[in-house]
């Protein structure tokens, strides 16, 4: 009986993990297992043509004649495939999307999760630094609506505690 419960729990856990995905099952099945982002950038030639799933925050949206390029600040993905905090970023990547993406919708600081094929790297000069970006061709993109990078809890009474219009020491 204990063995049956264990097997049932494993099946339910695997179903819950798959159901939490914002990327379609078909694309997910073709994607490589998660690889550290620094490894993807360093060994981009080994991953050419491979499908990867990445997340982060849009830095810039640039529309060209037949495609849109999203420059993204990479962050690790959490359990629900939503991007983690910006301070956990390990670099940047660029998403090449055939067609038009509205820059008002895909605007700066919007959180996204992207599945795409690795097509190489690009170098960008930021200040005095040469920054290496991973380039991916978009297969599927998920835009997190009304996403904030704020803590879930907000203390309504910050220090010093106010109980009405006067500070507590006034009583």
Pairing relationship of beta strands 51-63 and 67-75 according to DSSP bridges: antiparallel
Report DSSP state, residue 146.
T
Please report which confidence band the pLDDT of residue 145 belongs to, taking 50, 70 and 90 as the band edges: confident
Short-list 31, 54, 34, CA closest to 134 = 54
What single string gives the DSSP state of each residue in 63-91?
Answer: E-SSEEEEEEEEE-B-TTS-B--GGG--E
Both tokens of residue 79? 């359990």
Torsion of CA 143, 63, 108, 146, to 10 degrees: -30
pTM for this structure? 0.73
pLDDT in tens, 5-15: 666 666 655 55
Tokens 């799933």 sit on residue: 53
SS3 41: helix
Tokens 């080994």 sit on residue: 46
Q: Which residues make beta-bridge pairs with 112?
A: 56, 143
Please say if the pLDDT value at position 143 is more than 90.
yes
Pairing relationship of beta strands 91-98 and 51-63 according to DSSP bridges: unpaired
pLDDT in tens, 63-104: 999 999 999 999 999 988 889 999 999 999 999 999 999 999
């Amino acid at each position: 009986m204990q063995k049956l419960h264990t097997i049932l729990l494993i099946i339910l856990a695997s179903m819950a993990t798959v159901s939490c995905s914002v990327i379609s099952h078909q694309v997910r099945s073709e994607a490589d297992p998660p690889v550290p982002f620094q490894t993807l950038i360093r060994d981009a030639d080994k991953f050419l043509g491979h499908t990867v799933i990445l997340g982060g925050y849009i830095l810039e949206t640039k529309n060209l004649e037949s495609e849109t390029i999203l420059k993204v600040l990479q962050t690790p993905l959490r359990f629900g495939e939503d991007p983690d905090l910006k301070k956990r970023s390990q670099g940047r990547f660029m998403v090449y999307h055939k067609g038009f993406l509205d820059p008002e919708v895909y605007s700066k600081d919007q959180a996204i999760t992207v599945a795409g094929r690795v097509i190489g790297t690009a170098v960008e000069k930021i200040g005095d630094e040469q920054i290496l970006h991973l380039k991916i061709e978009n297969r599927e993109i998920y835009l997190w609506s009304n996403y904030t990078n704020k803590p879930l809890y907000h203390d309504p009474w910050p220090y010093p505690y106010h109980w009405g219009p006067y500070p507590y020491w006034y009583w």
